Structure 1
Amino acid sequence: MPASRIHPVGTLRDVVANKLRHAVRGAVALSAVTAVVSLNPGAAVADPTPSNAQDAQKQVEQQTAQADQIGQQYLAAKDDLAAKQADLAKANADIQTYGKQLADAQAKEEQFRGQVDQVAAAAFDGAQFTQLSALLTGKSAQDFLDQSSALQMLASQNASVLDTYDSAVKQASDAKAKATDAQKKAQDASDAAQKILADLQTKKDAADKAVADAKAAVAKLSASAKAALGAAGDMGTFIGPAGAAGAAMDAALSQRGVMYQWGGESEGVGFDCSGLMQWSWRQAGVSIPRSAAAQYTVGVSVARSALQAGDLVFFGSTASNIYHVGMMVSPTQMVHAPTQGEPVKVVSLSVMSDYFGAKRLAG
């Protein structure tokens, strides 16, 4: 079936969506493991009740843009925490592994220590005869040969004992070094995880406040403005590519009409932008990260002129400041979960002015 035609852009809904995405950008950098939290919770406080429709719409644009940006930073911080917790789990497992290796090596070292002590005592007491003493004390040539052979065997055994002991000592030393390194890595990972946990709570508090302010701003809109914001978008049929990309696109389109929900990732309940993308690709059997910025790190870059259905498109000023993501359903249209007060819908890509780049996932 042919793809639906592109609906004209220019409704109040499109204007709101266009402005809504770039009113407030760059207030806070995307969280990294050692980032210092610079969010100002007071910055998300709602403005006084607007006196007219134009002011109300402006307030919606500001508050929803801020909520989207902070929300994506919160999700990125959660991804950081999960990664550090995985590092910590691996380091703890390494400690157990190398600790056992150390114990085994120390036991082996102790096992051969007695034999080494015997060799040393024998040498000290003069129990090791030279071949010359064997010649002088031997009663016959055969005695000399027998004693020489015994001496060579004893020397070989002693050398073997010493070599084995040296190897055990080295193994114990190496295992101890690895266990010490694993312990340090575990401590570093634990410290990083604790820092992110504190950072995460700060971001969550700020995001919750921004979302509440955005909802309050939407509530202040007139009935006609709310209706325009909540318009369904293009409900036509779109044909996707074969494979996982087509399956992911079909999944995303199946959620048209489901209202935006910050932090949402549930079918029929609510999605935010990156939650919709992650859920859609999961239906196609492909796992991608949770936040929009992290999703930009997967797949292959695609030029805007080469966009096709199934490609992920990203919006923001820099790679670390990506705040929104959608999925192309045609060369010029995308399906996305816009923001507070809007449902999942298909819109023209041109509705958003701060396009950053696109990625094509395998499948």
Structure 2
Amino acid sequence: MLVKVLGAGSAAVVFCVVVIAAVVTTVIVYDQPLPAPGSSAGAGSTPSPQAREDIPPELLVLYQNAAGDCPGLDWSVLAAIGKIETDHGRSPLPGVQTGENSAGAGGLMQFLDPTFDAVVTRHPLPAGGASPPSRYNPSDAIHAAAHYLCDSGAPADLRAAIFAYNHADWYVDQVLAQASRYRLDPPPGSGDCRTVQASSPAAAQAISFACGQLGQPYVWGGNGPAINGGWDCSGLTQAAYRTSGITLPRTTYDQIHTGARIPENQLAPGDLVFYGTTDNNVHHVGLFLGAGRMVHAPDVGQPVQVSDYRYPGDDYYAATRPAAIPPAAQSDSRASP
């Protein structure tokens, strides 16, 4: 770390402060609760234990595959609708297996007949259903539901799409809550360098680079082993984010002013964690890994390593999220330390 401290017409430079290095093979995993647009059929979140226990296996496969009809839609939303409408087809009420309910809806996903016909006219359904398509056939019903949600604005405006399915705010809330219970949300970072978990490619790349420097010496003002033999803390974080296309200033004093401030209870892998007492008195920075750990260049005699980001007597101060910085807002890294 290199930090600028201005005072009484002169500039002083303050050092980094303090912690086990290992050569590891890094696997990068992007933690994304919902798949990105363009995801293939079957993509999406991992089913939770509740989902696997509650959803018939053949229907779980259908929900997962049908989500691919609407790129970016998570299968759990379809499953939640199937649960709330008919308990995945197990409800004994009229209109589930045959006939219609009092509103004229029928089948696993409770389509009105005109609505179902309009959807399958616009969107040919895959093989495996009935011929002609039927709202009582699980495959046809679930694929039609995915298309209907997509036509109604999913995944960009998921609430509006679910509201179009059933015009009630309470219904939207129930579907979203059930979908959340069906998803197994990933842990907030692995806490080590063997499996890098991050919510964006930029954060994952920065962590991967920093983890690749484990064991490199601490050098005050260091910009890397090829330049002056090692790293200081802010030199490491600047170089790490440079590999992901994000430009940070050189010193901790400036880095803390770059990017959105993140509350400690919302820390995510890739965030920068700072130590000090005020914005003008930060003396150390590390790259958060999750699970209470960070990778950093601690101090003279302490190589780049992974350690707890909170420790007895620390002066943890604040955190920022460089991975969210728009390119136009990035700082000029050519500024002198």
The TM-score with structure 1 as length reference comes to: 0.38
- Find the structure with the greater CA-based Rg: 1
Select the structure that is richer in strand: 2
